[in-house]
Amino acid sequence: MDLRLLRAYVTVARLRNFGAAAAELSTSQPALTKQIQVLERRVGAVLFDRGRHGARLTPAGELLLLDALELLERSEAFDRRADQVASGAEGSLAIGFGLSGIELAPRAVAVFRSRWPGVTVSLEDLPSAVQFERLLTGGLQIGFVRLPVPAGLEHHRLRRDRLSLAVPAAQRVPRDLAGWIDARPLVRLTPARGPGLTAQIDSLYAELGCRPQVLQESGDLQTVLALVAAGVGPAVVPSTAERIAPPEVRLVPLPGRAATWWTGVAWSIRTPLTERFVKAAAEVARAARTEPRTGHG
């Protein structure tokens, strides 16, 4: 159904005068008359009786008016909703995060939700490699990842992370950390859970010339830190884990060029929603850099 014809119909019905309706619709009276005639042919019924007292709805016109009003209302509601979606005030974001975003991602989501409550946000814990794949195929809109990103993705740097040695708070370690951890049994995160972190740690071991043994693995970083706190053994973890580490654990930064890397947010398609979320994530990252450390190192 042509919404222009319905709009003409309801306007004449409301004003009961073709001349007044034509003026409101910014058209000529003959053009408006033709529109009503086209609509009457389509519905197969006369909609108005025209006389000295203006235009009055026929019984058929009365019966169809509510339907016309409903269709126009739904059309206007669709236009309003489309404007909201196009402007980024409504919609949905699927966001991934891994170890690189374990702290920043939830905080960025909280800030974003406070500003854009009409947007649905889902958050999924995924390794960076899986996030890259889903970002490229449309399964995710935003990813908190380890940089660099593959071709086809844009990114914004958030902060630099580095590897640290997690030890019991009372544990004393020498200055020669590389020599101290060489051949020492360590707790570690399961490689499949954090392949990027594992590769980073292996690169650092190669640079430092040490070969620690694997004492125990866990698929969860918090469990790794809990094992360290219990005295099972030290572990090499990202420095950002400091904020989720128990008080019984302290983190000692490790030396070496391979000990540091950049983390950030990545996306495939730039939209008002992704731009607003990236802005929120950048604000959270800046605030995190100025917060006093509450860690144990």
Residue with tokens 């430092």: 208
How far apart (Å, rounded) are the C-alpha atoms in residues 73 and 88? 23
Q: What is the DSSP string of 88-113?
A: TSSEEEEEEE-GGGTTHHHHHHHHHH
For 118-171, how does the pLDDT look when each residue is reduced to its tens digit (9 = 90+)?
Answer: 899 999 999 999 999 999 999 999 999 999 999 999 999 999 999 999 999 999
CB 40 within 8 A of CB 64: no
Q: What residue ranges of the chain have pLDDT lower than 70?
A: 84, 87-89, 291-297
3-state class (DSSP) for residue 156 = strand
Question: Residue 232: what pLDDT?
Answer: 95
Entry pTM: 0.68
Tokens of 124: 């999924």
> What residues form DSSP beta bridges with 92?
120
Planar angle of CA 142, 147, 148, nearest 5 degrees: 105
Question: Residue 294: what pLDDT?
Answer: 47
How far apart (Å, rounded) are the C-alpha atoms in residues 130 and 146? 12
| 7 phi/psi in degrees, rounded to 5 | -65, -40
How far apart (Å, rounded) are the C-alpha atoms in residues 122 and 131? 14
Question: Residue 292: what pLDDT?
Answer: 59
Quickly count: other Cβ atoms within 10 Å of residue 175's Cβ: 8
| C-alpha 153, offset from chain centre | 15
How far apart (Å, rounded) are the C-alpha atoms in residues 11 and 80? 21
How far apart (Å, rounded) are the C-alpha atoms in residues 175 and 126? 35
Whose CA is closest to 127, among 110, 140, 111, 115?
A: 140
| 97 phi/psi in degrees, rounded to 5 | -150, 150
How far apart (Å, rounded) are the C-alpha atoms in residues 205 and 147? 20
How far apart (Å, rounded) are the C-alpha atoms in residues 104 and 146? 13
How far apart (Å, rounded) are the C-alpha atoms in residues 252 and 93? 36
Whose CA is closest to 98, among 168, 198, 187?
A: 198
